[in-house]
């Protein structure tokens, strides 16, 4: 993306920009895998449920993956019956089941207790029933991301599943063991363990969902994935699903922001931006410094970029530049497509970023938030 072109467009600031060309390139790359393996691709809409994104993604996927009633309703509205709708969540509410049930084609229950609660409700459904399984294999050192950490809330313990022969009573299994993985080693080890535990009994199933968490556009060697899917289909006649989210949208998202103040604090230059970590809460939650297009490694001038809220930790990071920043300068953060807008909030009353899309140097306005949006959220009925 031509950052200078964007800065010259006089867009409102802060602004979230979705680059449709990058989005489509990610989908084309995934489509190569789909054609090579005949696997089914679901977009996990929790990463970015923007309707424009869903509409662009829909022709390239076999359906959507959701985690709640609202996500399911939005996905169903976009799909219009054209594709699968899979749900897995540790928090399915029994009082919402009558609304959820008609929407779903597949559901992976998170526990035996949840399966018992939901399947005994009077609301009829046609969803194919599966179980999310915890294979008890940790590939992450940070428990904030690790679905298989000790005392995990995510999925049925593989030993419990094996001991209870519960695999005989469901149509599918769902696994999700990684976050932002850049190789398929975790998937190889997980499938090896499933085969060791269940062997030929996997052939009793209709499908397996290999989950998300793999950054397909950053993985160079696809052979392990192709081999796994091919073997699962050949040996057990399983329909194989994957549900990428971040892999589809993350590098397609940018955040344009403007410097609104500059000063020195204890000898360091501070630049206050018109955005905030509350527009991308994972920066604060995980102390993760976002990538800045304008950063110049070993640049002569160093600035701490800080958000405009009163939160002391509203710091985006320290960056270097060839020229000192000044009020009115525009900066662009990259790779913020996933888990930014969906988690963004209006803390301190600061507005959410406007939303634009860009394709072939053509910019389209998607959404502007107004005071009425803020008022409606907080004004008592």
- Residues 19-60: pLDDT tens digits? 999 999 999 999 999 999 999 999 999 999 999 999 999 999
Omega of the bond leading into 14 within 30 degrees of 0 (cis) = yes
295 and 157 in a common domain: no
- Same domain for 189 and 122: yes
DSSP, residue by residue, 6-55? HHTT---SSEEEEEHHHHHHHHHHHHHHHHHH--EEEEETTS---HHHHH
| 320 within a domain of the structure (yes/no) | yes
Name the burial class of residue 303, with classes exposed (0-12), middle (13-18) and buried (19+) by CB atoms within 10 angstroms of its CB.
buried
Asked if residue 238 and residue 318 are part of one domain, the reply reads no
Q: By C-alpha distance, which of 234, 229, 236 is closest to 203?
A: 236
CATH of residue 216? 3.20.20.10
For 375, the enclosing helix (H) or strand (E) is helix 371-378
Q: Which of 244, 261, 276 is the last residue of a domain?
A: 244
How much is the pLDDT for 272? Answer: 98
Residue 1 clears pLDDT 80, i.e. is over it:
no
Domain final residue pick, 208, 223, 244? 244
Say if residue 240 is in the same domain as residue 255: no
Which DSSP symbol is given to 42?
A: E
Same domain, 119 and 236: yes
**Structural domain containing residue 326:** 3-18+251-378
Report strand pairing: 301-306 vs 268-273: parallel
Total structural domains in the chain? 2
Dist CA 294 CA 297 (whole Å):
10
In a domain, 33, yes or no: no
Q: How many CA atoms lie within 13 A of 223 on its CB side?
A: 1
Co-location of 259 and 233 in the same domain: no
Angle at CA of residue 50, ends 44 and 51, nearest 5°: 100
Question: Over the stretch 101-153, which tens digit does the pLDDT of each residue have?
Answer: 999 999 999 999 999 999 999 988 899 999 999 999 999 988 889 999 999 99
In angstroms, the CA 330 to CA 274 distance is 10
Domain stop point among 208, 227, 244: 244
pTM for the model stands at 0.95
pLDDT at 164 over 90: no
CATH of the domain at 331: 2.40.37.10
- In a domain? residue 46: yes
Q: Region 49-76: what's the mean pLDDT?
A: 98
Per-residue pLDDT band for 165 (boundaries 50, 70, 90) equals confident
Same domain membership, residue 261 and residue 374 = yes
């Amino acid at each position: 993306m031509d950052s200078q072109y964007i800065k010259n467009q006089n867009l409102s600031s802060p602004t979230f920009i979705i680059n449709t060309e990058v989005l489509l390139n990610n989908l084309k790359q995934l489509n190569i895998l789909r054609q090579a393996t005949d696997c089914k691709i679901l977009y996990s809409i929790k990463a970015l449920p923007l309707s424009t994104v869903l509409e662009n993604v829909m022709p390239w996927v076999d359906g959507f993956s959701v985690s709640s009633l609202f996500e399911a309703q939005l996905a169903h509205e976009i799909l219009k019956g054209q594709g699968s709708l899979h749900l897995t969540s540790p928090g399915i509410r029994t009082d919402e089941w009558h609304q959820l049930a008609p929407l779903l084609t597949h559901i992976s229950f998170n526990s035996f207790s949840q399966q018992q609660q939901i399947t005994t409700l009077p609301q009829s459904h046609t969803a194919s029933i599966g179980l999310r399984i915890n294979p008890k294999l940790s590939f992450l050192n940070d428990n904030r991301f690790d679905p298989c950490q000790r005392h995990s809330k995510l999925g049925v313990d593989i030993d419990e599943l094996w001991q209870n022969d519960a695999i005989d009573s469901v149509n599918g299994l769902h696994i999700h063991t990684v976050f932002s993985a850049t190789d398929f080693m975790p998937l190889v080890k997980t499938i090896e363990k499933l085969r060791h535990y269940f062997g030929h009994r996997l052939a009793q199933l209709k499908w397996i969902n290999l989950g998300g968490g793999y950054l397909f556009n950053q993985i160079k060697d696809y052979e392990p994935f192709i081999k796994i899917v091919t073997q699962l289909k050949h040996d057990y006649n399983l329909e194989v699903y994957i549900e990428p989210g971040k892999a589809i949208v993350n590098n397609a998202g940018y955040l344009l922001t403007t410097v609104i103040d500059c000063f020195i604090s204890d000898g360091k230059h501070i630049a206050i931006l018109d955005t905030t970590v509350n527009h991308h809460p994972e920066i604060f939650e995980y102390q993760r410094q976002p990538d800045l297009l304008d950063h110049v490694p070993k640049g002569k001038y160093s600035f701490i970029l800080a958000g405009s809220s009163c939160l002391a930790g509203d710091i985006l990071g320290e960056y270097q530049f060839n020229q000192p920043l000044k009020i009115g300068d525009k900066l662009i953060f990259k790779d913020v497509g996933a888990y930014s807008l969906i988690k963004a909030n209006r803390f301190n009353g600061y507005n959410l970023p406007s939303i634009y899309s860009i394709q072939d140097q053509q910019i389209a306005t998607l959404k502007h938030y107004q005071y009425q949006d803020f008022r409606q959220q907080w004004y008592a009925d």
